[in-house]
Amino acid sequence: MRLLFAIALLGAVFAEDAWKAANVDRTIDATSQIVKVSTLYSFENVGNGPQSKVLIALSKEESATLSFISAGIDGSKGKLKISEKPAEKDLAVYEVDLRTPVAKGAKVTIRINLRITQVLEPLPSKIQQSDSQFVVLHTSAYVPSLYETVTQKTTIRTTQGGKLLSATTVSPSKQETERVIYGPYVNIPAFETKPVKVHYENNSPFVIATIVERFIEVSHWGNIAVEEYIELVHKGAELDGPFSRIDYQMDRRGRRQPALQQFTTVLPAQAKDIYYRDEIGNISTSAVRIRADSVDVEIRPRFPLFGGWKTSYVIGYNLPSEEYLYSKGNQYALKTKLFDHVFNDIVVEKLRTKVLLPEHVKRVKVATPYAVDRRPEELKPTYLDTTGRLVLVLEKENIVPDHSQFFTVTYEFEFVDMLREPLLASAFFFSLFFVIIVYSRFDFTISSDPAKDAEERSQIILGNLAKSVDSKQSAYEDLIEASQQYKSTKNDADLQEAKKTFIAARNQENSTLTDKIATLKTDSGASAAEKASELLKYDKTVFDAVDNYLKAVEKSTTKTAGTEEQQFLNKVKDARNRADSVLASI
């Protein structure tokens, strides 16, 4: 008995709707290829207490091709959290978290925005070049709801100036030039649907990007390189029959032909070094316009895109890193767009965003504004890399311009790793030098040439002999300088010291000369050694004159050199000349 009662109570709780839709005002904008549904719900809490969660229903068809959903309290800017719940009776269910509970009996007005893609069906599906494109929109005259709706109205906006071929009538409904209005309907029970078909002219090109591959390459030298590879297909009514360039140029509909003629891609204001090309190369029919807060690239593909036609291209640009990269210590954060503008009302079937981070990054974390599929990481070796750069791969299907939002990648990077690249280049250059150093030490001569060897050796010995002579002569110069010093100071000890140093230096050089002459003798024969030994003796007369010179200096009272001193100086000069002639003769 008690159990039965409990079950009955549970049943009662489920049976009773906790909310009632007091008013629903839905606008379906079907002017482009994206069906934009904006619904203003006015919910009344008819439950037993305050509630903070409300359920929104979408038809199965809508939810299957739903690309983007957002919810907000009407009049305020904040976004509400939405989560998908299990479907009920052919209706997909989404739960909206209102954040602040709504009291019993109170009302709350929320706006739900939907972006539904690829539901407009071209009819006829094949058209001639001069024809216009007509499409059919399938929807329900009643807004799908899990709650009873008191009043509701649906407005379908069709193309401005376009024909409206037919629209299902669900009284009260009316057709106007650019819209079809269903409702207002009163007291529609939950789960009630009324399928309607609207057949109208829609010449906006149904161009879909089958893939957008976006590469974001981060360089810590101060640049973020962005490149997008885009494949476009016109999925509207297919072009039947021939294509005539003349008819196309002379078409009086101009931009209103159902073909993609040109479009504008809006890039960030800091974008520079912009390029736009396809497999053939640069496409010159493009222009860059610099605006106050953006850079607009006007793109005109090589040919207009008619139904069923496709094209692909690459667009790339550089951004300064200070706008998008943040750091603190070894922590770095990249904040940039996961998907960026291609053209208005584009539908992307598959978006693949690849983020190339510098080498040796650690602890990479990704925070995205909406759920994406994170594919396994890749490694991409590029300039001055050793192991390759880490590539994050993020994928998402069914993208609309509303998905153009920022995401954040945080990672750790040591600043010292910046030096790795120049050092790698340095190591490369050093290895080249090293190869030359090693190579030059190998002897590749087939037969030895003793005469040449001896010549090379004696050249070195001669160089050394000349060096010894030089230092011997400079010893004389030092002595003369010391004597000049003496003339002003009259310090005997200093002069004696200078003389001692001079004699020691001369003896030292003479002994090295003797050694070298001995080696020269073994190398180049006795005659050369004979001549070289002259280098030991050539300054004999000068050396003998040193004592006299010093005496003259001691006696001298004038600053200027006396005759005796002058003679000595001349002798030193003569000795130098003699030594040079000896060296030349060897």
Rounded distance, CA 452 to CA 456, Å? 6
Determine, following the binding rule CB under 8 A, whether residue 428 of this chain makes contact with another protein: yes
Taking CB under 8 A as the criterion, which residues in 451-480 touch another protein? 456-457, 459-460
Cα–Cα distance between 569 and 572 in angstroms, integer? 5
Name the token pair of 250.
């002379």
| Residue 197 makes contact with another protein by CB under 8 A | no
Minimal distance in Å, beta carbon 220 to another protein?
7
| Binds another protein by CB under 8 A, chosen from 379, 437, 504, 526 | 437
* Contacting another protein within 510-569 (CB under 8 A): none
Bridge-based pairing state of the strands 51-59 and 91-102 = antiparallel
At its nearest, how many Å lie between another protein and the CB of residue 450?
Answer: 14
Closest CB to another protein among 245 and 328?
A: 328
User: What per-residue string of b and e applies to 298-328 under the rule 16 or more CB within 10 Å gives b?
Assistant: ebbbeebbbbebebebbbbbbbebeebbeee
Positive/negative CA dihedral, 30, 31, 37, 39: negative
The beta strands (E) that lie in 12-106 are given as 19-29, 35-45, 51-59, 66-73, 81-88, 91-102
- Is 298 strand, coil or helix? strand
How many other β-carbons are positioned within 10 Å of the β-carbon of residue 150?
17
| C-alpha distance from residue 187 to each of 23, 38, 184 (Å) | 10, 21, 10
Continuous segment of H or E residues that includes residue 408: strand 406-412
Q: Which is nearer to another protein, 194 or 220 (CB)?
A: 220
Tell me the C-alpha distance between 163 and 167, whole Å. 11
Would you say 432 and 425 are in contact if contact means Cβ atoms under 8 Å apart? no
CA-wise closest residue to 221 among 344, 111, 320, 347:
320
Cβ distance to another protein smaller for residue 4 or 446: 446
- Shortest distance, position 222 Cβ to another protein, whole Å: 3
Of the residues 109, 113, 219, 312, which one makes contact with another protein according to CB under 8 A: 219
Nearer CB in complex with another protein: 406/554: 406
Whose Cβ is closer to another protein: residue 63's or residue 321's? 321
Among 84, 176, 247, 273, binds another protein (CB under 8 A): 273
35 - beta bridge partners? 116
Query: Residue 491: which residues within 8 A CB-CB, separation 6 or more?
Result: none
3-state SS assignment for residue 251: coil
Q: Exposed, middle or buried by CB within 10 Å (0-12, 13-18, 19+), for 265?
A: buried
Bridge-based pairing of strands 389-399 and 263-267 is unpaired
Instruction: Answer for the pair 205, 175: CB distance below 8 angstroms, yes or no.
Output: no
Written as one string, the DSSP assignment of 337-404 is ESS--SSTT-EEEEEEEEEEPPTT-EEEEEE-SS--EEEEEEEE--TT-SS-EEEEEEEEEEE-GGG-
**Cβ nearer to another protein, comparing 166 with 426:** 426
CB of 382 to another protein, least distance (A): 8
State which of residues 25, 340, 421, 509 lies at the interface with another protein (CB under 8 A). 421
The whole-angstrom separation of Cα 3 and Cα 525 is: 129
Nearer Cβ to another protein (349/385): 385
**Does 244 help bind another protein (rule: CB under 8 A)?**
no
* 3-class SS letters over 179-207: EEEEEEEEEECCCCCCEEEEEEECCCCCE
Site map for another protein, 401-420, x if CB under 8 A?
Answer: -------x-x----x--x--
**Residue 501 is a binding residue for another protein (CB under 8 A):** no
CB of 551 to another protein, least distance (A): 44
CB of 337 to another protein, least distance (A): 15
What would the x/- binding string for another protein be over residues 199 to 218, using CB under 8 A?
A: ------------------x-
From the list 185, 204, 201, the residue with the least C-alpha distance to 193 is 185
| 4, 78, 443, 447: residue in contact with another protein (rule CB under 8 A) | 443
Residue 132 Cβ vs another protein, minimum distance, rounded to whole Å: 46
| Smallest separation, CB 265 to another protein (Å) | 21
Q: Token pair of 93, please?
A: 């269910």
**Rounded Cα distance, 450 and 523, in Å:** 10
Cβ of residue 440: shortest distance to another protein, in angstroms?
6
Nearer to another protein, 126 or 362 (CB): 362
> Of the ranges 294-302, 382-390, 499-507, 551-559, which one interacts with another protein (CB under 8 A)?
382-390
Stretch touching another protein by CB under 8 A, among 229-237, 425-433, 539-547, 553-561: 425-433
Give least dist CB 321 to another protein, A.
Answer: 6
Per CB under 8 A, which region of 49-57, 123-131, 319-327, 527-535 contacts another protein?
A: 319-327
Which residues fall within 8 angstroms of residue 147, CB to CB, at 6 or more apart? 17, 19, 20, 21, 43, 55, 190
Q: Which of 76, 83, 166, 331 binds another protein (CB under 8 A)?
A: 331
Out of 46, 170, 181, 225, the only residue in the binding site for another protein (CB under 8 A) is 225
Rounded to a whole number of angstroms, the minimum distance from the CB of residue 492 to another protein is: 45
Nearer to another protein, 285 or 405 (CB): 405
Does 221 help bind another protein (rule: CB under 8 A)? Answer: yes
Q: Closest approach of Cβ 472 to another protein, in Å?
A: 22
List the one residue from 325, 392, 546, 579 that touches another protein (CB under 8 A).
Answer: 325
* Complex with another protein: residue 202 or 321, whichever CB lies closer: 321
Number of amino acids touching another protein (CB under 8 A): 49
Residues that bind another protein (CB under 8 A): 217, 219-223, 225, 273, 318, 321-323, 325-328, 331-333, 335, 382-384, 408, 410, 415, 418, 421-430, 432-434, 436-437, 440-441, 443, 456-457, 459-460
